[in-house]
Structure 1
Amino acid sequence: MLAFGTGLLLAGGAAAGAWAVLERERPAGTADDRQPLALPDASVTSVPPDPPTSAAPPPGEPADFAGLFDEVGSGVFMVQATTCAGSGVGSAFLVDDGLVMTAAHVVTEAASVVVAQDDGGVYPAAVVGIDEVNDIAVLEVSDDVRGHAFDLADAPSSAGEALAVIGHPLGDPLTITSGTASRVSEDLWPDFQLDVSVNPGNSGGPVVRGDGEVVGMAVARRLDAVGMAYAVRVELLAERLADPSLLAEPPVPRCDAPLGPAEGYTVPAVPSADESSEAAATTLASYFEGINTGDYQWAFDQLSPRRQGDMSVDDFAAGLVTSYDFGFVVNSFEETAAGARVWLEFVSIQAPEFGPDGEACTSWSLDYELVWDDIGYLLIDRVTGHGETAGHRPCA
């Protein structure tokens, strides 16, 4: 039986493609095409409960979603995960001190998970319970993570109610999109239908009323329609928070090399002002592209002959097989007699056994020294901690 607050248990993964919003073809007039999965050691059902004793509040003044966004936005996070499916970018929301909810397909079989706030804070997270049938996962984060804690609504939504979805579409900064609940019927159970724009990356984001109460969690959109989305109903979210035994233990990754997203990853952006800066930008972009996509030979090719002489490509790859790097900030670029030097800060997530001090999330501040080769490429020759430091620390 699961109990929240039992410590960080890093496990999980994702299975929905590069960005976490399930894009499902749903033939018009048919029931939800979610396929029930047998979950070990958990009693998870997908049976509609008795009709609620209370109904959604009647329509009143138009909801002030602009004001709401400023009020509650601090409690919505971007989720980054390295997974066997090479996916794991989605959204999540704070529901209590140290507890965050997201969609299960964002973090299924994750080797490492972090949540990031718009202010730049990045925090390790652990999948402590998962319901793959109904696409719900609960993450545990440090109590140091601050933000608006959302209340789950007592009354479900009803058709025609004004609602909004908050999240990180395509991994972009936090956004809010508003619309209505367009269909709430039992043939859609455990979801309900929204007339609102969502995109990959919105999965796991809260669906809220004008008063900020959560009535669902975004999980999918319909591919053959514009603005048709689906959310898991609040009743299921509330039940799983109240009774963790309805959640399964997170599965252990079944692959040797979990990856981050195959698309949509970021690379360092060195300002291109001349030949040297353009060459440095190309090399660093190729280097981190290789790491993030698992093309370790391509990343290895960006090293100088001297650096390559210190190791084989297999040795190089061995320490990176669970890594995903993001949040790049280029602080400075300068030309040197041999090439160039770039001060780069970024965040990596990895399985804990691959972290510098056994951590799953690391903040880096490094100087990359690049040298020209014989055919006009700048290659990475030396990497040191910036300012004579170790160059790394655990994420906040």
Structure 2
Amino acid sequence: MIALVTGIFVLAIVAGVAVAFVIRAAGGAGLAALPGSPPSPGSPAAPVQSVSPEPLETPEGPSDGPFAEVAHRAASGTHRILATTCTGTGVGTAFQFGSEGLLVTSARAVSGARSIAVLSGDRIVPADVAKIDTVSGLALLRPDVAMVGQGFELGTQQLAVGDQVALLGWTTESQQPARGRARIGVGTITEAGLTLESPDGRHPGIRRMTGEFDPGLAGSPVVGEDGRLLGVVLQAADDQDDLVVAGLDTVADPLLGPTGMPPAMEPCLNATGPRIVTTVGGAAPAALRTQLGQWFGALNAGDWDRARGTLTGGLREDWTREELDVEHRGTYAFNIVSAPSDSGAVTVSWARLQAEGDPACERLVADVALDESGIRSISPRGAPVPCG
């Protein structure tokens, strides 16, 4: 029996093409100068002008061999997902399946999700949990808009020991961990007929697949040389060395059956985004991007003392722990990009998921004045706009 681990898993070898979407966030009322706040009363609600996003990193994966063509053909149907959850495990991969426009992922990545984002290129699309199947360990997501990309089809082969297969996912081993990097990992099935015990249920029909650990690969499709779906990665094995894969014998029914009612929401006082490194990209000097990363990272972690420690002068005194808690509890900033501005400040553009509120995902832009001593001021550029 394989014990479930709080993390999620990885893959070995890689390739593919990158695509991404987002799922929810909401703006909060509060400090007018705080990132994510609307303009103060009476100020114009000008549309946000975002900093141009950085290009996606080159996909990792085999350049030849039986899975090379599969990778390039099917990669457009896999997407990075981010979520605010009670457990901080809200990062993974989702893939397109079926005619209803649903996405499939591991229940581990979205169990108890308050908000979800699907990333596709430079698009961020909110989504909701349509179904969680406790037997297979799968979750079905319904994005707000139809996704563009190739859908996966069920194969007919039951995974057996010795089979060589490929996993198509979005690793967090990237310069932009939240956005991810497309990867294809080729591995071998080493065990079959296992049962997995996890907080989401008891899952029979489990296989063990060779591969490395990375939380962004939870929910990745496992395919054969013809590109057809043979299983789904649920998480890492208990020893962190291999991947836990649900086979067709448990995956087929929840994928082909009715969606039913969405799961009931359990109480959660401290929903957070995924516990991964927060980075800031763009053209601002590296030292300033590091400072901005510390600010956003502290907000994402809900560490108000650490967040205040990145501020300087009167700004630190003006923003109390209580005010930061009201404004940023349950929020998660990602896709953070910086650029020098004409005023001498740094213009920062980012997206924000929010566990409570509407819309669930917003895009924001602000001018940030900072130097080696810390952040001196943060001035929003217009009103936040919904992701999409």
| TM-score (norm: length of structure 2) | 0.73
Superposition deviation, residue 181 in structure 1? 2.7
The structure 1 residue matched to 2:265, chosen from 218, 235, 252, is: 252
Contact 1:63–1:210 (Cα < 8 Å) also in 2: no
**2:245, 2:171 → 1: CA distance?**
15
Q: How does 1:317-396 map to 2 (within 5 A)?
A: 317-332=325-340, 340-353=344-357, 358-370=358-370, 377-385=373-381, 389-390=382-383, 392-396=384-388
1:369 aligned partner, one-letter code = A
1:294 aligned partner, one-letter code = G
Kindly indicate whether residue 284 of structure 2 is the aligned counterpart of residue 284 of structure 1.
Answer: no
SS in 1 for 2:289: helix
SS in 2 for 1:330: strand
Q: Which residue of 2 aligns with 1:141?
A: 143
Q: Which residue of 1 aligns with 2:47?
A: none
Distance 1:159 1:367, change over 3 A: same
Superposition deviation, residue 282 in structure 1? 4.3
Q: Which residue of 1 aligns with 2:23?
A: none
**1:326, 1:106 → 2: CA distance?**
17
1:168 aligned partner, one-letter code = W
Q: Which residue of 2 aligns with 1:232?
A: 246
Spell out, residue by residue over 1:243-285, the C-alpha distance to the aligned partner (whole angstroms, 9 max, x if none). Answer: 236x7732424222211123x2222247675xxx63x334322
Q: Which residue of 2 aligns with 1:180?
A: 188
Superposition deviation, residue 310 in structure 1? 5.0
Q: Which residue of 2 aligns with 1:211?
A: 226
SS in 2 for 1:287: helix
The structure 2 residue matched to 1:160, chosen from 156, 159, 162, is: 162
Kindly indicate whether residue 257 of structure 2 is the aligned counterpart of residue 243 of structure 1.
Answer: yes
The structure 1 residue matched to 2:207, chosen from 186, 192, 214, is: 192
1:364 aligned partner, one-letter code = L
SS in 1 for 2:216: coil
2:278 aligned partner, one-letter code = T
**1:187, 1:291 → 2: CA distance?**
38
**2:85, 2:159 → 1: CA distance?**
33
**2:289, 2:185 → 1: CA distance?**
35
Distance 1:253 1:363, change over 3 A: farther
Distance 1:313 1:197, change over 3 A: closer
SS in 2 for 1:328: strand
Distance 1:252 1:209, change over 3 A: same
**1:266, 1:311 → 2: CA distance?**
22
Superposition deviation, residue 225 in structure 1? 7.2
**1:348, 1:78 → 2: CA distance?**
15
Distance 1:163 1:310, change over 3 A: same
The structure 1 residue matched to 2:90, chosen from 81, 88, 91, is: 88
Higher relative contact order (CA 8 A, sep 6+): 2
**2:236, 2:102 → 1: CA distance?**
26
Contact 1:269–1:285 (Cα < 8 Å) also in 2: no
Distance 1:313 1:233, change over 3 A: same
Superposition deviation, residue 168 in structure 1? 1.7
Superposition deviation, residue 83 in structure 1? 1.1
Contact 1:91–1:203 (Cα < 8 Å) also in 2: yes
Q: Which residue of 1 aligns with 2:22?
A: none
Contact 2:5–2:235 (Cα < 8 Å) also in 1: no
Superposition deviation, residue 333 in structure 1? 5.4
**1:230, 1:269 → 2: CA distance?**
33
Unmatched 5+ stretches in structure 2: 11-63, 197-203
**2:84, 2:240 → 1: CA distance?**
30
| TM-score (norm: length of structure 1) | 0.72
2:225 aligned partner, one-letter code = G
Q: Which has the larger radius of gyration?
A: 1
Superposition deviation, residue 213 in structure 1? 0.7
2:336 aligned partner, one-letter code = F
Superposition deviation, residue 216 in structure 1? 0.4
2:9 aligned partner, one-letter code = V
Contact 2:284–2:339 (Cα < 8 Å) also in 1: no
Superposition deviation, residue 287 in structure 1? 1.1
Q: Which residue of 1 aligns with 2:101?
A: 98
**2:310, 2:215 → 1: CA distance?**
31
Contact 2:80–2:94 (Cα < 8 Å) also in 1: yes
SS in 2 for 1:284: helix
SS in 1 for 2:153: coil
Q: Which residue of 2 aligns with 1:21?
A: 9
Distance 1:63 1:209, change over 3 A: farther
Percent pairwise identity:
25
Kindly indicate whether residue 274 of structure 2 is the aligned counterpart of residue 261 of structure 1.
Answer: yes
Q: Which residue of 2 aligns with 1:6?
A: none
2:68 aligned partner, one-letter code = A
Superposition deviation, residue 208 in structure 1? 0.4
SS in 1 for 2:271: coil
Spell out, residue by residue over 1:281-316, the C-alpha distance to the aligned partner (whole angstroms, 9 max, x if none). Answer: 343222111111110222134345444565532122
